[in-house]
Amino acid sequence: MNLQRYLHQRQHRIERALDRYLPKTRSPDGLEQAMRYGVFAGGKRLRPILALATCECLGSPTTPVVPFACAIEFIHAYSLIHDDLPAMDDDVLRRGKPTTHVKFGEATAILAGDALLTEAFRIMGEAAVRAGALRPVAVQALVEIAQAAGIHGMVGGQAADMAAEGTTIDLPRLEFIHVRKTGALIRAAVRTGALLGNARADQLRRLTRYADRFGLAFQVTDDILDAEAPTDVTGKTVGRDRARRKAAYPALLGLSASKDRARDLVAAALRELQPFGPAAEPLRALARFVVSRCGDT
């Protein structure tokens, strides 16, 4: 399959939906503009595409997945806005553009993040109201996304990551942080696609394992990219994580072993997809894409 074309089409579908879900008004306080800036700062839409691709691999219609996929992207966007704040990671550049608080001020950036998180749940709630026979799995997906975004997921991971800064951590602690900070929302994206795609229990288990391996591979390659790529690729200052001694695989395992680990994780993710046949081709291509970013296809 042509992954670039697939990604382009799905990105386009998600971005049209994100645009519909964002407020159209422009208020003098800049809140709506800051929300839009944070969401349209140029992401790959990996999480929403994973949700769609998972539903597709089950041969189910994807329309009910779209609001949940957009809600997950809103949550991802809010987390980046808040993580970049001066009190947190203090980043002035993301994907080569000024971060939201640099562009709109700190107060508006905090409120834009709060608003995106809140709107995410409004979108999912409204979708659940309209879901008809799918309502029980829609409410279940909302709960899983909330769990993934909260103290036992993304926010807890970010807090643990900040507490680990400047300290020496071992591999189990690093994976504890990564599983929460990025893994949980990736898992929730895949499970949302599976739940709304009416997956059987055994299919849900396999897809969840795929998601967990995918999420960890994604984080390992992100750390590798951050350690070795120039700014014009990551859009961040080179080696910024390493310079601040943030939790990172290359520092713990070395570069070569980190790449091996990413490849092994992707191979394990692919094994879980075997029973799904050709319909899982997008999920396979997405997993391969993750390691290909480091030049190790």
Q: Read off φ and ψ for residue 97, nearest 5 degrees.
A: -120, 155
Q: What is the per-residue DSSP string for 70-119?
A: HHHHHHHHHHHHHHTSTTTT--SEETTEE-HHHHH-HHHHHHHHHHHHHH
The residues, ordered by sequence, that sit 6+ positions from 155 with a Cβ below 8 Å of its Cβ are 149
Regarding 126 and contact with a copy of itself (CB under 8 A), the answer is yes
* Residue 30 vs 183, nearer CB to a copy of itself: 30
Ranges within 136-195 binding a copy of itself (CB under 8 A):
136, 139-140, 142-143, 146-147, 149-151, 155-156, 158-160, 162-163
In this chain, which of 103, 122, 242, 288 binds a copy of itself, going by CB under 8 A? Answer: 122
Helix residue ranges, H only, 150-278? 154-164, 171-178, 184-196, 201-228, 231-234, 240-243, 249-253, 255-272
Q: Give the DSSP letter of residue 98.
A: E
In this chain, which of 2, 24, 27, 202 binds a copy of itself, going by CB under 8 A? Answer: 27
3-state SS class at 245:
coil
* Residue 102 vs 229, nearer CB to a copy of itself: 102
Regarding 17 and contact with a copy of itself (CB under 8 A), the answer is no
**Minimum distance from residue 248 beta carbon to a copy of itself (Å):** 18
Regarding 19 and contact with a copy of itself (CB under 8 A), the answer is no
Regarding 105 and contact with a copy of itself (CB under 8 A), the answer is yes
* Residue 97 vs 122, nearer CB to a copy of itself: 122
Regarding 82 and contact with a copy of itself (CB under 8 A), the answer is yes
